[in-house]
A and B are shown apart, each in its own frame.
Chain A
Amino acid sequence: SQQGEEDPQALSIQEGENATMNCSYKTSINNLQWYRQNSGRGLVHLILIRSNEREKHSGRLRVTLDTSKKSSSLLITASRAADTASYFCATDAVGAQKLVFGQGTRLTINP
C-alpha cells in the first residue's frame, strides 16, 4: 500500500524561483525522507527528518514536517536547471520494516 502521496504530480517553474512539493502520509512514522531521481537513474537521498523534528535545512533545501497533519513539504530555493528531476518522499512507518515511497513530483526548471 502506498503511504506517501505527493502533490503536485508535476511542477514547472522558471530558473531562480522557489519550488515547493508536498507529501501526505497515513500512519505514524519514525522518519520521513526525500529523494531525487534524474530520468531513469537511481534515487539519491536528499534529507531525512525525524518524527520529533519540525524543520530541517540542507543547503538550498528546506523540509518541514507536521505530524499532526501527517504531511511534509520540500522547498528548493533559487532553483537551477540541474534541479530538474523527480522528487519522492519516503516514510519509515512505525513497525513497518520498510520505506514506502510516494509516486513523486516531476519538477522542471525552465531556463
Chain B
Amino acid sequence: EAQVTQNPRYLITVTGKKLTVTCSQNMNHEYMSWYRQDPGLGLRQIYYSMNVEVTDKGDVPEGYKVSRKEKRNFPLILESPSPNQTSLYFCASTRTMGTEAFFGQGTRLTVV
C-alpha cells in the first residue's frame, strides 16, 4: 500500500530539547516536503527536497533542519524547540513536483 509514514503522531516536549520527527515513503517519490498547519494560517511549507541530498527552504524554515540522505526518508529536526513551534506537522511526497501529493497522518507537537 502506497503510504507516507510519520512518527511520532503526538509529542509533548520542553523548550530546548532537540527532537526529530521521522517521515518515510514507500513510493520511490523524488519530491518530499514538510508543512506546518496552524489555525487561520492554513498549511505553510517548511522545507522541501527535490531528490537525495537536495533540500531547500520553504516559507517558514526558521528553527528547523532537514536532511535527505536516502530517497525514502526525510526527517524534520528541531534543534532547540520553542513554544511557537507548537503545531500540527505534515510530511508529503510526490512523484515529481506538480503531481499528486501523498500526506502522512500528521504529528501534533506541543512545546511547553
Residues of A within 8 A of B (CB): 1-2, 30-31, 33, 35, 40-45, 48, 88, 90, 92, 97-104
Cross-chain contact of A100 among B45, B92, B102 (Cβ < 8 A): B45
User: Would you call A88 and B100 a contact (CB within 8 A)?
Assistant: no
Cross-chain contact of B106 among A41, A48, A104 (Cβ < 8 A): A41
Residues of B within 8 A of A (CB): 4, 33, 35, 40-45, 48, 50, 56, 58-59, 88, 90, 92, 97-106, 108
Complex Cα distance, B33 from A100, in Å, reads 12
User: Would you call B102 and A45 a contact (CB within 8 A)?
Assistant: yes
The CB with the most chain B CB atoms within 10 A, among A2, A43, A48, A103, is that of A43
User: Would you call B100 and A97 a contact (CB within 8 A)?
Assistant: no
Complex Cα distance, B45 from A2, in Å, reads 10
User: Would you call A42 and B48 a contact (CB within 8 A)?
Assistant: no
User: Would you call B41 and A103 a contact (CB within 8 A)?
Assistant: yes
Chain B residues in 8 Å Cβ range of A45? 100-102
Chain B residues in 8 Å Cβ range of A90? 101
